[in-house]
């Protein structure tokens, strides 16, 4: 994205804030706005802006009422319509933003049914990097067939951004690869950022989005219902996710997924992921390398 677009996205995110906090957020320099990744609110603490160098505190302090107002603005004053995602700790917002929430869980029969007494919120400034995956996408095919692929990086390394653009590229197709039918299981609403059923991010013309559904449940659903050629998921973390992924692979469906790990040796040190590699569910890994000049992508074959 160009600098002006980055600034515009930041200002769109700031518009979700209550007016007294919005004024402080909009007072940043254009350079800071363009680099900002999140706006963070904690009751009794200053509003902060997350920059690549860390959190920058702003005045004034956040009041509990500010968090309630934020939710009203984010839901367009219809919290009831957003109750299912509120209890999961997030809100999708028109324009491709996502608000994460913390507070007091309301428990019933061992399950969380709501959040009350909100204590923290974070507005993630999702930004599309169209074209980020253009150099990687053609290399994920062998003989015209997609090879199951993992995207690896530590937290905050840009996995979701790359996943989003890969889904778009694969869904659109290109001169070196055929367009693919993709089922995207967007458990936390961070990839497509669906708002009332419509993806706010460009995930391609042949992508079907299953939003706010756990991966272990979502993979069998799309296998039965959507006839995908590739299933894409963000952040495999549970053994149930791996079991479902193995089910899809056994049905001949391609898999594209992200995992928190810096590299393949780190994967092998974790028993959960070591099993994944031993069962040869995935064939390729894309490592995200980050330095002062941005991000680079390195492709490698996974050990058999």
Bridge partner list, 46: 61
**Which residues, at least 6 apart from 108, have a Cβ–Cβ distance to it below 8 Å?**
none
Residues 147 and 283: beta-carbon distance below 8 Å: yes
Residues 244 and 220: beta-carbon distance below 8 Å: yes
Q: Which residue segments constitute the domains of the chain, with CATH numbers given?
A: 3-124 (3.30.450), 137-301 (3.40.50.300)
Q: Of 274, 277, 219, whose CA–CA distance to 248 is shortest? A: 219
Q: What whole-number distance in Å separates Cα of residue 304 and Cα of residue 68?
A: 52
What is the predicted pLDDT for the residue at 197?
A: 85
Q: What is the pLDDT along the chain (304 residues), one digit of tens a residue?
A: 677 888 999 999 999 999 999 999 999 999 999 999 999 999 999 999 999 889 999 989 999 999 999 999 999 888 877 788 888 888 888 888 889 999 998 888 877 778 889 999 999 987 778 888 999 999 999 988 999 999 999 887 889 999 999 999 999 999 888 999 999 999 888 899 887 888 988 999 999 999 989 999 999 999 999 999 999 999 888 889 989 999 999 999 999 999 998 888 998 888 888 887 888 899 999 999 876 566 889 999 988 6
What is the predicted pLDDT for the residue at 293?
A: 60
């Amino acid at each position: 994205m160009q600098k002006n677009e980055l600034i515009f996205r930041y200002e769109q995110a700031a518009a979700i804030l209550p007016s007294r906090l919005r004024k402080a957020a909009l007072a940043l320099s254009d350079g800071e706005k363009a680099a900002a990744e999140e706006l963070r609110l904690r009751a009794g603490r200053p509003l902060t802006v997350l920059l690549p160098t860390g959190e920058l505190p702003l005045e004034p302090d956040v009041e509990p009422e500010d968090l309630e107002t934020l939710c009203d603005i984010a839901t367009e004053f219809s919290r009831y319509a957003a109750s299912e995602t509120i209890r999961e700790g997030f809100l999708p917002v028109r324009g491709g933003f996502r608000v994460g929430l913390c507070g007091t869980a309301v428990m019933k029969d061992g399950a969380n049914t709501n959040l009350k007494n909100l204590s923290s919120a974070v507005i993630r400034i999702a930004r599309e990097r169209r074209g980020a995956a253009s150099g990687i996408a053609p290399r994920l095919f062998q003989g015209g067939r997609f090879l199951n692929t993992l995207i690896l990086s530590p937290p905050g390394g840009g996995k979701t951004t790359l996943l989003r653009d890969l889904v778009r590229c694969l869904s659109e197709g290109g001169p070196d690869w055929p367009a693919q039918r993709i089922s995207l299981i967007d458990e936390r609403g961070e990839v497509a950022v669906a708002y009332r059923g419509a993806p706010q991010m460009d995930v391609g013309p042949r992508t079907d989005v299953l939003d706010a559904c756990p991966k272990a449940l979502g993979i069998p659903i799309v296998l039965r219902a959507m006839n995908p050629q590739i299933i894409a998921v963000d952040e495999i973390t549970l053994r149930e996710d791996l079991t479902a992924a193995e089910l899809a692979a056994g049905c001949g469906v391609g898999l594209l997924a992200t995992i928190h790990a810096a590299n393949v040796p780190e994967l092998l040190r974790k028993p959960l992921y070591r099993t994944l590699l031993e069962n040869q569910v995935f064939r390729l890994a894309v490592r995200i390398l980050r330095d002062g000049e941005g991000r680079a992508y390195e492709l490698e074959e996974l050990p058999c």
